[in-house]
Amino acid sequence: MAYQYKTFYSYDDLKGHLLTHKPGFYHASKTSTVIPYDKIESFLNWGHRDDFYICDLSGLPGHMELLSNSNLVVRGAVSWEEARKFLISKGRTLKTSPTEQLALITAGVATSCTGERCFGFGTLRSQIARLKYLNFNGEEKNLFRDDSFQINSSHLNPYQAGFQHYRLFKNAPYPRFENATDLMIGTEGQLGIVTEAELETADNEDVTYLFILLPRWEENYEPHMEIFGAVQAHRQSILSCEFLDANCMNYLKPEERLGTNQDVIFLEVKSSAFDNIYRRVLCRLSLTSQDDVFKIPENKFHHVRAAAPQAIFEENSKMGVVKVGTDAQVTADKFSDLLNCYREYSRTGVRYCLFGHFGDAHLHFNYMPSKEEAARCEDELERLYDKVYAWRGSPFAEHGIGLLKQKYIRRFHGLNQLGLFHDIKKEHDPYNQFFPQGFMGQVIK
């Protein structure tokens, strides 16, 4: 018998379902790159198939409200795009800007998405002042950022001590678990269902969008690294520093491409600080000509930045393969090592492309394999994550672990991580009903 599929249109219906304690996987916008939605039944691999529910939360009623403290409250099915437009009408803007604007915010909380503006505004988890979630008994609970994380576990203190190394990363190989809100941020729906979030917002200042043409990184990435170093001291003025390589451009329509067989770095700069950035950053670049720096309209900036990853995903689907890509972030001193590793991968004879959040030393290398090449590419990623582990980097800094990345994450979880996962699941998911195949549920048998 097949899995049970259910879409929820009311919170009462959802609460009633949770009281059955039936195991399930809960999703919203189906934009996650670590969940193979078209093959999800085979990946979930639940023995009692008619006892397992795949639950769609995208039908829940959405609501937005701007509070007097300028924080935004979102409830239910609200996308990042809807929230951004709502805030602009109020003279405010979001501090988080995922590439996929149609994704739902509550789902983004569950995966601790960070997006492009992490460079200037920091991580999503630092922007969440409060949230609500439904627990295993269908009860809606409040969590506040100013409250400390509470769990009766001998593993908590050593777990938190181990997290300190990753404090400046977008996301660690495991959730933070310091503030009360961390229970739901980045735990991928394994402890409950996020229903509401209160997010910090920012003034909607005028922004200048730039792109810089560079040589292909495979041949010479010194100009890229010069820019990387130059922007680090200007995170208050530069909101994002993004990258698309020449291969990404080839997946766009000819009229959309920037440059000719060239890489592109995008900068999102506060207009009030543009003259300062021009003098102190752009004019001081010795390896990049000023003739290769251009302004770009905002709509084109967002379109090109989003269109390339989307086209790559569609190409993989057309080839009939699951995405074979990375989500690794390293410290600044290891960024050249990461690029050298990706340079090796570029010579394997398999099609590829590189894009992502350049200013954060966080790039996505994507193989574009045929079915016959896919297994070899997976083996190459095994080698990469060995290196990321040795570098003490974060293997999955943005998109979560889901189902596709679990085999790579295991080496990053020691006794303290696994022990705390067990204790948290036992307290907050005693029936193992929330995504039991997730990286935390694997310790509950």
Per-residue pLDDT tens for 331-356?
Answer: 999 999 999 999 999 999 999 999 99
Statement: residue 106 has pLDDT above 50:
yes
pLDDT at 322 (0 to 100): 67
Distance CA 152, CA 5 (A): 35
Distance CA 297, CA 315 (A): 27
Local confidence band at 36 (pLDDT 50, 70, 90 cut-offs):
confident
Q: Which CA distances in Å does 194 have to 26, 132, 175, 387, 426?
A: 10, 6, 16, 34, 19
Local confidence band at 1 (pLDDT 50, 70, 90 cut-offs):
low
Q: Among 249-253, 322-326, 366-370, 388-392, which stretch is predicted with the lowest mean pLDDT?
A: 322-326
Mean pLDDT of 382-411: 93
**What is the identity of the amino acid at 20?**
T
Per-residue pLDDT tens for 402-436?
Answer: 998 998 999 999 999 999 999 999 999 999 999 99
The structure tokens listed for 44 are 């979930």
Question: Whole-structure pTM over 0.85, yes or no?
Answer: yes
Mean pLDDT of 383-409: 93
Local confidence band at 442 (pLDDT 50, 70, 90 cut-offs):
low
Q: Are 332 and 227 in contact (CB under 8 A)?
A: no
SS3 77: coil
| Mean pLDDT score across all residues of the chain | 93
Statement: residue 33 has pLDDT above 90:
no
What the chain holds in terms of domains, given with CATH numbers, is 1-204+409-429 (3.30.465.10), 207-369 (no CATH)
What is the b/e burial string over 43-58, where b = at least 16 CB atoms within 10 angstroms of the residue's CB? bbebeeeeebbbbbbb
For residue 312, count other CB atoms closer than 10 A to its CB: 21
pLDDT at 307 (0 to 100): 83
Q: Hey, which residues does 147 pair with through a beta bridge?
A: none
Q: Among 34-48, 195-209, 391-405, which stretch is predicted with the lowest mean pLDDT?
A: 34-48
pLDDT at 30 (0 to 100): 86
Distance CA 128, CA 130 (A): 6
Q: Among 53-67, 116-130, 233-247, 311-325, which stretch is predicted with the lowest mean pLDDT?
A: 311-325
> What does the DSSP 8-state code read for residue 149?
P
Q: Hey, which residues does 6 pair with through a beta bridge?
A: 55
Per-residue pLDDT tens for 132-148?
Answer: 999 999 999 999 999 99
The residue that leads in pLDDT, 443 or 167, is 167
Statement: residue 76 has pLDDT above 90:
yes
- Longest CA–CA span in the chain (Å) reads 66
Per-residue pLDDT tens for 274-291?
Answer: 999 999 999 999 999 999
Local confidence band at 445 (pLDDT 50, 70, 90 cut-offs):
very low
Q: Which helix (H) or strand (E) holds 140?
A: strand 140-144
How large a percentage of the chain has pLDDT more than 90? 79
SS3 416: helix
Local confidence band at 444 (pLDDT 50, 70, 90 cut-offs):
very low
Q: Which of 123, 140, 268 is nearest to 200 (CA)?
A: 123
Distance CA 169, CA 237 (A): 20
